[in-house]
Amino acid sequence: MIRPQFSDTLARVAGDWTDARSADAAIENLVFLLDSADPDEQDALVTLAARIRDHHCGQRMVVRGLVEFSSCCVNTCRYCGLNRNNPKAERFRLTPDDILESARLVHEAGIRTIVLQSGEESRDARELADVINKIKSTYDMAITLSVGERSHADYALWKEAGADRYLLRIESVDADVYRSLHVGRELETRLACLETLRELGYQVGSGVMVGVPGQTTHHLARDIRFLASREFDMIGVGPFIPHPDTPFRDEKAGGVGLTLRMLALLRIVTRNAWLPATTALGSMDRDYRIDALKAGANVLMPNFSPVEVKKKYEIYPGKRCITERTGACALCTEGIARAGGLEIDWSRADSLKMAVRL
Ligand code: 5AD
Ligand code: FES
């Protein structure tokens, strides 16, 4: 049963999520919608989100090939299995040739974006710059980096070498929640990195985990406000999944329903951001990535890391597709798109927000 207050609030948020009455009212609306776990209400929310996605982005799903090239990390994020205090984490680092080979496989699968992800390393940025350069001179594809907080000079070097996009999740825009997730790190630093990336001309992605310890729907509503008002080109949200070798081992996982409502609301308020059906959503009791597509997501990131390293890149347990042969995920991509009612778009699919910004 859909309550009249739910329909009213949804219509209000879909019309103008900033709510003319006040900033507090805008947040209250979002909290109200996030809090509703009624199946009919959730259906109404995701159906509207999918409609808005189709209208603003087309009825399509874009594909990005993910290559996890290093599990080495100097950071101590308390939720993440790769944090440097986890002695059980298996550390690997692909050679430039390995990365190039992965890029070849991504290209061969018909995908025109490669996402290079790693733990936060302290290595010389020139090595990665060389890899970027080689990929760019060999293949016609976009490069997205996801390698954490680095200096202005490093970000500039990689941009110069040909990187197009950068993913750096804010994780939580609340300074206290942020601090409780990241030992010795400050929200300001991450905000400054995001600013720098934008200034340098990257297409920038951010995002949050849903259901981390201490997070309420009020925090999530403020995250939505932040993510929408910064006009990020890409926004990734996934449920928190406790890793047994981290300080958060005994915490509860984030809820699937809440994650899908968060995703749907992000679609409704951002209109044309690229929103992935994240691997975390695919790694719960079952694969919820199709549900994510039905709730407004429109990106899939099949894993192209070499099979021998896939299981070592364990940011959370139960990660989907770690035993599949490299590139096998590309096959599943078609089935997932179809089940989500979307056509696959194989192009590099740059930001839909760029035209507005230029
Ligand atoms: N559960 C869910 N997501 C996680 N991430 C890291 N650790 C976990 C976990 N335990 C997410 C973070 C990070 C992204 C690469 O993966 O949001 O930014
Ligand atoms: Fe560094 Fe997760 S803490 S990759």
CATH number at residue 328: 3.20.20.70
- Average pLDDT, integer, range 41-57: 98
Straight-line distance from the first to the last Cα atom of the chain, in angstroms, rounded to the nearest whole number? 45
Ligand 1 pocket check for 261: Cβ under 6 Å: no
CA atoms within 13 A on the CB side of 262: 31
Pick from 74, 116, 120 the residue to mutate for probing ligand 2's pocket: most ligand atoms within 8 Å of its CB.
Answer: 120
- Please give the pLDDT value at position 225: 96
- Please give the pLDDT value at position 151: 97
- Please give the pLDDT value at position 298: 98
0.85 surpassed by pTM: yes
At residue 8, does pLDDT exceed 60? yes
CA-nearest residue for atom 6, ligand 1, is: 80
Percent of the chain beyond pLDDT 70?
Answer: 97
- Please give the pLDDT value at position 330: 67
Mean pLDDT of the chain: 95
Answer with the residue of higher pLDDT: 122 or 72: 72
- Please give the pLDDT value at position 29: 97
Ligand 1 pocket check for 178: Cβ under 6 Å: no
- Please give the pLDDT value at position 253: 98
Name the DSSP letter for residue 327: T
Q: Are 293 and 340 in contact (CB under 8 A)?
A: yes
Residue ranges in 230-327 assigned as alpha helix (H):
256-270, 279-282, 289-294, 307-310
Instruction: Identify the CA nearest to 145 among candidates 135, 88, 137.
Output: 135
| Sign of CA pseudo-dihedral 306, 311, 313, 317 | positive
At residue 355, does pLDDT exceed 80? no
CA 171 to ligand 1 centroid distance, Å? 8
- Please give the pLDDT value at position 156: 98
- Please give the pLDDT value at position 5: 97
Q: How confident is the model at residue 266 (pLDDT cuts 50, 70, 90)?
A: very high
CA 30 to ligand 2 centroid distance, Å? 30
- Please give the pLDDT value at position 356: 59
Domain that holds residue 8: 4-357
- Please give the pLDDT value at position 9: 97
- Please give the pLDDT value at position 322: 75
- Please give the pLDDT value at position 111: 96
DSSP labels, 69-128: EE------BTT-TTSTT-TTSPP-B--HHHHHHHHHHHHHTT--EEEEEE----S-HHHH
Instruction: Identify the CA nearest to 336 among candidates 287, 284, 269, 264.
Output: 287
- Average pLDDT, integer, range 209-228: 98
How far apart are the C-alpha atoms of 207 and 281, rounded to whole Å? 14
- Average pLDDT, integer, range 250-262: 98
Q: Are 273 and 233 in contact (CB under 8 A)?
A: yes
At residue 87, does pLDDT exceed 90? yes
- Please give the pLDDT value at position 327: 67
How far apart are the C-alpha atoms of 139 and 126, rounded to whole Å? 20
- Coil vs helix vs strand at 184: coil
CA 1 to ligand 2 centroid distance, Å? 42
Q: How confident is the model at residue 358 (pLDDT cuts 50, 70, 90)?
A: low
Q: Are 252 and 34 in contact (CB under 8 A)?
A: no
- Average pLDDT, integer, range 200-205: 98
330 is written with which tokens?
A: 């590309």
How far apart are the C-alpha atoms of 5 and 11, rounded to whole Å? 10
- Please give the pLDDT value at position 284: 93
Q: How confident is the model at residue 357 (pLDDT cuts 50, 70, 90)?
A: low
- Please give the pLDDT value at position 329: 72
Q: How confident is the model at residue 319 (pLDDT cuts 50, 70, 90)?
A: confident
At residue 65, does pLDDT exceed 80? yes
- Please give the pLDDT value at position 74: 95
Domain count, the chain: 1
Burial class (CB in 10 A: 0-12, 13-18, 19+), 158: buried
Q: How many CB atoms lie within 10 A of CB 252?
A: 11
Cα dihedral 240, 282, 111, 341, rounded to 10, equals -120
At position 256, the amino acid (one-letter code) is V
- Please give the pLDDT value at position 123: 87
- Average pLDDT, integer, range 338-357: 90
